[in-house]
Amino acid sequence: MKRIICLTYIGPDGRVQLPRKVLDKLKWKGEDYIKIEVKGQGKVELRKVN
């Protein structure tokens, strides 16, 4: 998979919005469930839950 690098921000309510091109590449859509795992050293892994 081609690497995509995007910049986004954390809103005042703590929400992070993933850029549309990231969602499109991953074929993720609204109302999908995502598992968030903190890996340490500032790394976070997101995975779609089937």
Question: How many CB atoms lie under 10 A from the CB of residue 6?
Answer: 9
As given in the structure block, the two tokens for residue 16 are: 């992070």
Q: Are 48 and 24 in contact, with CB atoms under 8 Å apart?
A: no
Print burial letters for 17-31: b (CB count within 10 Å at least 16), e (below 16): eeeeeeeeebeeeee
Over residues 18-45, mean pLDDT: 94
pLDDT value for 50: 87
What is the value of pTM for the model shown? 0.77
Over residues 3-20, mean pLDDT: 94
pLDDT band at 2 (very low <50, low <70, confident <90, very high): confident
Q: Are 19 and 25 in contact, with CB atoms under 8 Å apart?
A: no
Over residues 18-32, mean pLDDT: 94
pLDDT value for 39: 95
Would you list the domain boundaries of the chain?
1-49
* Residue range 1-49 in CATH 3.20.20.210: no
CA 33 to chain centre: 11
